[in-house]
């Protein structure tokens, strides 16, 4: 743990969070969730902690859906004060089971970004295929070799599963979209498994009916492409098919209305310079990344998000603005160092302001 985190862990409960909340009152914080489960699963959110978080946001902040936030900004020419946005990615059924009842109970708005091909059950999300493959084998008999990738043979257990997953996921993300699908099929072949056509229950998507019901009750249904590719690895025309196709599917199934967009995977390498304009021209009012930095919500088509889940320390750090202030502090130190040393440091090409 860095010195900054240590200081915050100590000072947070003694007024540090309140101070950050005050300093950052005009800079909305956007929280990012993915999956929900009961009993809890590491890295996911469980209803027990999520309810505490929703209540805390309701009692201490001004909760908005992302499209609500963008509409407020358009109307008033500025962001609302003490705004916090809950966003959830992908469109898994567990949102309806565990998160939606809590959001409805407290009347807290939120934004759910859905991959429309997944909702239509035309595909299952490719990282889930890697997860599924690793759930089917308890020993990798022979080293996996595909192009430059080499994964050693060995047992698949709680410890090594994550290592294999990361290695294969990173390799898939480095490939152009069509090669990525070939890679996953080849992975399955080398592991001696056939990936089923139908989505297994643990990776099931929501239905259009469920989405329509939630849209009636404070959940903005935003866009997250048709097939969830890294938009950093597709041609401009392919990106357009993904973004416009997603927007059309949402409008056809849920009625035409203003929405926001979320870039799949959302890291700096998942971007290309033309994407923000493409997203805006497709009718979306704003868009989010999957990482935080000093820029916060400055660019409406590249708004930064903060990770959230069952870790209450991370939740308070993200919600109060402490995490944002930490990034600002680090940026200021870097700028000063560059000024004195005459160097420049481009940390996230393409999305660095």
List 88's β-bridge partners, or say none. Answer: 33, 112
Nearer to Zn ion, 37 or 320 (CB): 37
Longest Cα–Cα distance of the chain, Å, equals 62
Shortest distance (Å) from residue 36 CB to Zn ion: 15
Instruction: Give every CB contact of residue 238 below 8 A, 6+ residues apart in sequence.
Output: 177, 229
For the CA atoms of 213, 70, 29, 42, the dihedral, rounded to the nearest 10 degrees, stands at 30
The site that binds Zn ion (CB under 5 A) totals a number of residues, namely 3
Nearer to Zn ion, 264 or 321 (CB): 264
Nearer to Zn ion, 93 or 193 (CB): 93
Which two three-digit tokens encode residue 173? 């993300």
Nearer to Zn ion, 17 or 203 (CB): 203
Chain center to CA of 173: 15
Nearer to Zn ion, 266 or 326 (CB): 266
Shortest distance (Å) from residue 205 CB to Zn ion: 12
Candidates 7-15, 41-49, 186-194, 262-270; binding stretch for Zn ion (CB under 5 A): 262-270
Q: How far apart are CA 278 and CA 284, in angstroms?
A: 9
Cβ-defined contacts of 19-22 (< 8 Å, 24+) = 20/320, 20/321, 20/322, 20/324, 20/325, 21/60, 21/61, 21/82, 21/320, 21/321
Nearer to Zn ion, 65 or 115 (CB): 115
Which two three-digit tokens encode residue 100? 């939606």
Nearer to Zn ion, 90 or 94 (CB): 90
Backbone angles phi, psi at 232, to 5 degrees: -85, -10
Interaction of residue 323 with Zn ion, rule CB under 5 A: no
Residues 5-44 that bind Zn ion (CB under 5 A): none
Candidates 21-29, 171-179, 200-208, 261-269; binding stretch for Zn ion (CB under 5 A): 261-269
Residues 197-236 that bind Zn ion (CB under 5 A): none
Q: How far apart are CA 327 and CA 186, in angstroms?
A: 40
Shortest distance (Å) from residue 263 CB to Zn ion: 9
Nearer to Zn ion, 109 or 266 (CB): 266
Which two three-digit tokens encode residue 292? 């935080």
Question: What mask of x and - would describe binding to Zn ion in positions 49 to 88, judged by CB under 5 A?
Answer: ----------------------------------------
Shortest distance (Å) from residue 240 CB to Zn ion: 19
Question: What mask of x and - would describe binding to Zn ion in positions 86 to 125, judged by CB under 5 A?
Answer: ---xx-----------------------------------
Nearest to 289 by CA among 27, 25, 30: 30
Nearer to Zn ion, 112 or 195 (CB): 112
Q: How far apart are CA 99 and CA 112, in angstroms?
A: 11
- Helices 177-191 and 158-173 meet at what angle, rounded to 10? 150
Shortest distance (Å) from residue 90 CB to Zn ion: 5
Q: Nearest-CB residue to Zn ion?
A: 89
Nearest to 21 by CA among 320, 337, 289, 331: 320
Shortest distance (Å) from residue 117 CB to Zn ion: 12
Shortest distance (Å) from residue 91 CB to Zn ion: 9
Shortest distance (Å) from residue 96 CB to Zn ion: 17
Residues 118-177 that bind Zn ion (CB under 5 A): none
Which two three-digit tokens encode residue 302? 């590249």
Shortest distance (Å) from residue 82 CB to Zn ion: 28
Q: How far apart are CA 71 and CA 121, in angstroms?
A: 32
Residues in contact with Zn ion by the rule CB under 5 A = 89-90, 264
């Amino acid at each position: 743990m860095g010195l900054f985190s240590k200081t915050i862990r100590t000072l947070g409960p003694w007024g540090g969070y309140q101070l950050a909340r005050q300093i950052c009152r005009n800079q909305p914080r956007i929280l990012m969730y993915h999956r929900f489960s009961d009993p809890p699963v590491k890295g996911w959110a469980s209803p027990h902690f999520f309810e505490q978080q929703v209540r805390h946001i309701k009692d201490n902040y001004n909760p908005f859906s992302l499209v609500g936030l963008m509409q407020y900004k358009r109307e008033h020419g500025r962001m609302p004060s003490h705004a916090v946005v809950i966003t959830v990615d992908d469109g898994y059924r567990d949102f309806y089971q565990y998160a939606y009842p809590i959001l409805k109970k407290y009347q807290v708005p939120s934004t759910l970004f859905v991959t429309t091909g997944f909702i239509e059950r035309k595909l299952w999300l490719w990282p889930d295929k890697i997860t599924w493959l690793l759930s089917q084998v308890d020993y990798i008999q022979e080293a996996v070799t595909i192009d430059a990738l080499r994964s050693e043979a060995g047992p698949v257990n709680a410890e090594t599963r994550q290592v294999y997953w990361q290695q294969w996921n990173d390799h898939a993300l480095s490939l152009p979209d069509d090669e990525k699908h070939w890679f996953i099929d080849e992975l399955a072949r080398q592991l001696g498994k056939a990936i089923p056509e139908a989505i297994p229950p643990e990776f099931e998507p929501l239905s259009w009916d469920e989405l329509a019901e939630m849209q009636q009750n404070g959940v903005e249904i935003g866009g997250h492409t048709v097939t969830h590719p890294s938009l950093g690895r597709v041609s401009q025309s392919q990106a357009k098919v993904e973004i416009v196709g997603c927007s059309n599917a949402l409008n056809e199934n849920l009625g035409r209305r203003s929405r926001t967009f979320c870039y799949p995977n959302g890291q700096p390498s998942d971007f290309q310079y033309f994407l923000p304009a493409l997203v805006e021209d497709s009718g979306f009012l704003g868009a989010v990344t999957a990482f935080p930095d000093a820029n916060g919500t400055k660019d409406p088509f590249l708004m930064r998000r903060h990770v959230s889940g069952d870790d209450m320390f991370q939740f308070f750090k993200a919600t109060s603005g402490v995490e944002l202030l930490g990034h600002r502090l680090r940026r200021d130190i870097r700028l000063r160092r560059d000024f004195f040393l005459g160097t420049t440091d481009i940390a996230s090409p393409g999305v660095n302001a």
